[in-house]
Amino acid sequence: MSSKITISSETSDDQPLLATKQTLGSRMKVRWRRMDNCTRATFSLLFVIICAAIASRIFIEFFSPLDHWPGSRVTIPPDVDRDNDTTQSDEERRDAVKAAMKHAWEGYRQYAFGDDELQPVTNRSNNKWGGWGVTLVDALDTLYIMGLHKEFNQGVTHVVNVDFSKAKDGYTTPFFEMIIRSLAGLLTAYEMSLDRRLLAKAQQIGDVLLPAFDTPTGIPYPRVDVNAKKAVHSDRVCLAEAGTVQLEYWKLSELTGNPAYHEMAQRVVDILDEAEKPYPGLYPIWIDTKSAKLVSGQITFGGQGDSWYEYMLKQYIFSRRSNDQYRRMYEESIDAMKEKMVQRSIYDPQMYYVGDLDSTAKKFSPKYQHLTCFVPGMLALGSKVLDRPDDLELAKNLAYTCFQMYNLTATGLGPEYVLFRDSKDKGLSPSNKDGDDDFAIIKLASSSNTEKKSGFYFGGNRGYILRPETLESLMILYRITGDSMYKEWGWQIFKSIEKWTKTRSAYSAYKDVTSTKGSSELSDSMESFFLAETLKYLYLLFSPAGYYSLDEYVFNTEAHPFKILQSSHSITRH
Ligand SMILES: *[C@@H]1O[C@H](CO)[C@@H](O)[C@H](O)[C@H]1NC(C)=O
Ligand SMILES: *[C@@H]1O[C@H](CO)[C@@H](O)[C@H](O)[C@H]1NC(C)=O
Ligand SMILES: *[C@@H]1O[C@H](CO)[C@@H](O)[C@H](O)[C@H]1NC(C)=O
């Protein structure tokens, strides 16, 4: 924006223009002499203030590395032992990621086209997301971003004929998943291609899911029976499900001109803003749909909590930084998280992590979920947007841990979570699995040398289901710091994905990242987020920072890039 300052120096040697200027100048001199001292003083002061403001703006613009998205400041830190093949350019790496996308899409197209997921080991397909082709819808904007226009058109031709108002018999649609994957995917595919049929389909999804809000409080139910045109009653809904539909409905309001979508979703934010919490800014994950109270469950930046916090920041950015409610809520939550949920490894002081709290915000669980690895990216983005430099330092330390979760396994892939010792002889059981008590701290045997070297130990679930969060954070951190170490880390992870998860038809989830048994560890599953997020963030990591710039786009929690609201007033009712 400040570049406009220089426009006034564009004076040409054009004679007539100069002449007008002189007469204007002499007329102003006359007026200046006629003014009384007080007015002159006021004008002089004003002049000095404006000059100072311009000078400081220029200063910030040139000297603050935080204030521009770089990609230009490329420094290779000495402590990164780079692999033999890093002579490859960004362009070559981008092409390798694009080839991976083509491979996954080709397998899907051949064996599962129009179905929800390809099973990449057996080449079967499944329809566990209602049968509307979630992989196809989720992948559209990635295809577009990578310039795979033929494939994009294959997808569009199919999706414009899908009827989202009819579900398979007996299937009830998960509200949140359908919004973040399919509604968002269609909205961005529309914003990129301007094919209005895609907007019509997005609106159809938005409409068939609206009955979710038909509850005593306006807090949505988690599932909708679209055939019956009503929601499935449920006593409770989790924080992320109720609180990660706002950007999508807001974008839908902007594009259709109908403010009702945004208003319904915003109501949830207003209710939770007011709700009683165990600690300011921290929300237990279960919300009672009848009373709108935060009733129970962990406090977590991992599964079921995560994107609620993410969307505070992202709605603030989406609103062109005009809505202070989101800013206040985000800052309150981040301050509380930093105070109560961040710890570090007792063996590696650089290794910070975000654990979970129980519903009272008193008991701490020393478990770092892969899902929580979006936090470094969120903090880095927030540090830039809200001028919180400390958050960037924390982001770097948290991202380091997320990278080590990959780097310190035998395959170079990262598990669902890792565990840390509370103290030398206490921590969670190494057999801790999803669904177990995450606050059951027990006495542990003394640490192995491997654990001392790694800083953490593994739990009962060591699977990698092709998740994106770590790569998402690396991409954002690279764009914000310009430190190419993040690209090296991302490339190393990509190579492990290629090496261990690639099948003849696509890529598959891997059951145990500490095992090098290879194909027998493949679990025959490829979630749509691998195409929507994992490969997209990798591609953008190796693209110029101006490509889908963080100044112009805000990525939804499924990596669908929304153009930031054109005008903050365009959809409010008057
Ligand atoms: C990469 O490794 C190969 C053998 O593994 C070696 O021949 C080659 O010289 C190495 N290249 C560089 C640039 O170090
Ligand atoms: C799956 O498809 C790939 C690519 O067409 C093929 O090479 C492979 O043999 C197939 N696998 C099975 C189990 O049919
Ligand atoms: C861990 O990182 C180092 C430095 O980047 C690298 O040399 C090493 O190969 C990595 N390990 C794995 C398993 O990828």
Task: Give domain limits for the chain.
Answer: 90-415+462-570
Which CATH fold would you assign to the domain 90-415+462-570?
Answer: Glycosyltransferase (1.50.10)
The closest-lying atom of ligand 3 relative to the alpha carbon of residue 410 is 13
* pLDDT value of residue 266: 98
Q: Which of 106, 502, 505 to mutate to test the pocket of ligand 2 (most atoms within 8 A of CB)?
A: 505
Q: Which of 105, 124, 504 to mutate to test the pocket of ligand 2 (most atoms within 8 A of CB)?
A: 504
The closest-lying atom of ligand 2 relative to the alpha carbon of residue 111 is 2
Distances (CA, A) of 318 to 321, 478, 506, 533: 7, 21, 34, 19
Atom 7 (ligand 3) nearest CA: 81
Helix or strand (DSSP H, E) at 535: helix 535-541
For the chain, how far is it from start to end, CA to CA, in angstroms?
A: 30
- Looking only at the bridges linking them, the beta strands covering 286-288 and 236-238 are antiparallel
DSSP state of 435: T
Atom 5 (ligand 3) nearest CA: 81
Determine how many CB atoms are found less than 10 A away from the CB of residue 32.
11
Q: Is the beta carbon of 80 within 6 A of some atom in ligand 3?
A: yes
**189 Cβ contact list (under 8 Å, min separation 6):** 137, 140, 141, 144, 152, 156, 195, 198
Q: How many angstroms separate the CA atoms of 141 and 101, rounded?
A: 12
* pLDDT value of residue 9: 34
Query: Which pair of tokens denotes residue 318?
Result: 């989406």
The closest-lying atom of ligand 1 relative to the alpha carbon of residue 87 is 13
Q: How many CA atoms lie within 13 A of 39 on its CB side?
A: 6
- Residues forming the active site: 177, 306, 416, 469
Q: How much distance in Å is there from the Cα of 407 to the middle of ligand 3? A: 5
pTM attached to this predicted model: 0.84
- Tell me the residue length of the chain: 574
Atom 2 (ligand 1) nearest CA: 84
Q: How much distance in Å is there from the Cα of 106 to the middle of ligand 1? A: 33
Atom 5 (ligand 2) nearest CA: 505
Q: Which residues of 531-544 are buried (b: 16+ CB within 10 A; e: fewer)?
A: bbbbbbbbbbbbbe
* pLDDT value of residue 30: 67
Ligand nearest to the CA of 516: 3
* pLDDT value of residue 138: 98
Q: Is the beta carbon of 523 within 6 A of some atom in ligand 3?
A: no
Q: Is the beta carbon of 81 within 6 A of some atom in ligand 3?
A: yes
The closest-lying atom of ligand 2 relative to the alpha carbon of residue 123 is 1
Determine how many CB atoms are found less than 10 A away from the CB of residue 511.
16
DSSP state of 337: H
Q: Is the beta carbon of 492 within 6 A of some atom in ligand 3?
A: yes
Mapped onto helix, strand or coil, the DSSP state of residue 331 is helix
CB 260 within 8 A of CB 278: no
- Digit-by-digit pLDDT tens for the chain (574 residues) are 333 333 333 333 333 334 444 565 666 666 767 777 777 777 788 887 787 777 776 655 454 433 344 433 333 333 334 455 654 899 999 999 999 999 999 999 999 999 999 999 999 999 999 999 999 999 999 999 999 999 999 999 999 999 999 998 899 999 999 999 999 999 999 999 999 999 999 999 999 999 999 999 999 999 999 999 999 999 999 999 999 999 999 999 999 999 999 999 999 999 999 999 999 999 999 999 999 999 899 999 999 999 999 999 999 999 999 999 999 999 999 999 999 999 999 999 999 999 999 999 999 999 999 999 999 999 999 999 999 999 999 999 999 999 999 999 999 999 999 999 999 999 999 999 988 999 999 999 999 999 999 999 999 999 999 999 999 999 999 999 999 999 999 999 999 999 999 999 999 999 999 999 999 999 999 999 999 999 999 999 999 999 999 999 999 999 999 999 987 555 444 3
Provide the β-strand partners of residue 232.
Answer: 223
- Which protein residues are within 6 Å of ligand 2, measured from CB? 122-123, 504-505
* pLDDT value of residue 4: 34
- Which protein residues are within 6 Å of ligand 1, measured from CB? 84, 87
Q: How far, rounded to the nearest angstrom, does the alpha carbon of residue 145 sit from its chain's CA centroid?
A: 17
Q: How much distance in Å is there from the Cα of 84 to the middle of ligand 1? A: 6
Q: How much distance in Å is there from the Cα of 466 to the middle of ligand 1? A: 30
Q: What are phi and psi of 570, to 5 degrees?
A: -65, -20
Distances (CA, A) of 235 to 345, 414, 504: 39, 35, 44
Q: How many angstroms separate the CA atoms of 247 and 430, rounded?
A: 38
CB 77 within 8 A of CB 485: yes
Atom 8 (ligand 3) nearest CA: 407
